[in-house]
Amino acid sequence: MSKVRVVPGLIPALVAGSVLVMVLACFLGSTELSPSRIMMAFIGLGDRADMLVIWHIRFPRTLAAFLVGAALGISGAAMQGLLRNPLAEPGVLGVSATAALGATFALYYGLVGLWPFILPISAILGALLATGVVAMMAFRTQSVVTLILVGVGLSSFAAALMSLLMNLAPNPFSLSDMINWMMGSVANRSFDDIGLAAPFILAGLALLLWQRRGLSALTLGEEAAAGLGLNLKLQRLSVILGAGLATGGAVALAGAIGFVGIVAPHIIRPWVGHDPARTLIPSGLMAGMILVLADIVVRLLPTAAEMKLGVIAAIIGAPAFAYIAAQRKGAVHD
């Protein structure tokens, strides 16, 4: 007899946890600062150097990690709900890589000089292109394998094009730039960078949250959901657009960070009765926490060159992905 439980107070607990890890992230770093100096700096009363470290380095970086995590966690959970598949995720489906391609194109062909918002917009256009392709495939086939292969194809294609851009760009970018975009990082992010991406991320998340009730209905399949009164076209469009905006914004801010959009919803689902709608907000908080923690690890590891945030995310996430995929052998549509 397996009972379905919904953990009470989950969201408040995750909010508290998120605040806690973000404060922790501000306390830790290469410059040793005592808690009292950090507190003073936080409320604007510390000395100039301390304030600089907290307000210009640690806090923006932490906020960026959390925002990117939240965007990817909620996008992942929403795509999983729409496609009725726990392996759907911006990274796996090639959405992040295509967004990174859009961003690098804007960056290295000088478009960003025209207007800074061209960076997130290009990333979002890349993301929308991929979500559109994936969604079109998904409505034609119910095979998970097909979808993931399409994602692999999109990712490889985006990586190849990026490599081509690298060679042809008027101001050629280095291999490390490309790795930054393909693996993702929040090092040296400022409030200005966050300001460019955040409006798109928040708009996308608002759209996904507004339309989340339909994801519950889709549990029964598309035809039954339509019978329940769900407007399928509007639902698909909202998730494609919402996930595209949020993922594109996240990639513009931090590059392509994979797997966190699979891991967070997978942890959350049993706590919310497996309801896709109720998975969204907790997944966002959980994914935000995971990336903030991963970024702490990145900063504390004594490596010569700083590790990429996406490397840590993949080291944790890729095995989890494989595990979830293996668990699904008895599942429906494979």
Partner 1 sequence: MTKLNLRRVSVRTEDQALVKGADLDFGPGELVAILGANGAGKTTLLRAALGFIRPDSGEALLAQKPSYTLKPAERAQWVSYLPQTRPLAWPLSVFDVVALGRFAHGASLGRLLGPDQRAVDAALAACDITHLADRSTATLSGGELARTQLARAFAAQTPLLVADEPVAALDPRQQIRVMELLQGFVAQGGGALVVLHDIALAARYADRLVWMAEGEIIADGPVRQTLTPEILRRVYGVTAEVFDRAGHLNIHIEGAA
- Site for partner 1, rule CB under 8 A: 1-6, 84-85, 213, 216-221, 223-224, 226-232, 269, 272-278, 332
Coil, strand or helix: which one is 245? Answer: helix
Q: Within 10 A of 40 (CB to CB), how many other CB atoms are there?
A: 17
For residues 227 and 185, what is the distance between their CA atoms, to the nearest angstrom? 44
Residue 103 beta carbon to partner 1: minimum distance, rounded to whole angstroms: 33
For residues 298 and 6, what is the distance between their CA atoms, to the nearest angstrom? 34
| CB-nearer residue toward partner 1: 230 or 313 | 230
Q: Which amino acid is at 300?
A: L
| CB-nearer residue toward partner 1: 137 or 226 | 226
Coil, strand or helix: which one is 9? Answer: coil
| CB-nearer residue toward partner 1: 156 or 231 | 231
Q: Which of 251, 226, 266 is nearest to 139 (CA)?
A: 226
Residue 75 beta carbon to partner 1: minimum distance, rounded to whole angstroms: 18
Residue 45 beta carbon to partner 1: minimum distance, rounded to whole angstroms: 43
| CB-nearer residue toward partner 1: 185 or 216 | 216
Helix axis angle, 276-300 to 59-83, nearest 10° = 140
Residue 146 beta carbon to partner 1: minimum distance, rounded to whole angstroms: 17
If you ran DSSP here, which 8-state letter would residue 171 be given? S
| CB-nearer residue toward partner 1: 280 or 294 | 280
For residues 29 and 21, what is the distance between their CA atoms, to the nearest angstrom? 13
| CB-nearer residue toward partner 1: 239 or 252 | 239
| CB-nearer residue toward partner 1: 37 or 328 | 328
Question: 195-213 b/e with 16+ CB inside 10 Å = b?
Answer: ebbbebbbbbbebbbebbe
Torsion angle in degrees (nearest 10) through CA of 74, 236, 207, 159 = 50
Residue 208 beta carbon to partner 1: minimum distance, rounded to whole angstroms: 15
| CB-nearer residue toward partner 1: 194 or 277 | 277
Coil, strand or helix: which one is 301? Answer: coil
Residue 275 beta carbon to partner 1: minimum distance, rounded to whole angstroms: 5
For residues 156 and 68, what is the distance between their CA atoms, to the nearest angstrom? 23
Residue 242 beta carbon to partner 1: minimum distance, rounded to whole angstroms: 18
Encoded tokens for 247: 């993922």
Residue 91 beta carbon to partner 1: minimum distance, rounded to whole angstroms: 21
Query: Torsions phi, psi of 6, nearest 5?
Result: -115, 120
Residue 265 beta carbon to partner 1: minimum distance, rounded to whole angstroms: 11
| CB-nearer residue toward partner 1: 62 or 85 | 85
First vs last C-alpha separation in the chain: 26
For residues 3 and 168, what is the distance between their CA atoms, to the nearest angstrom? 58
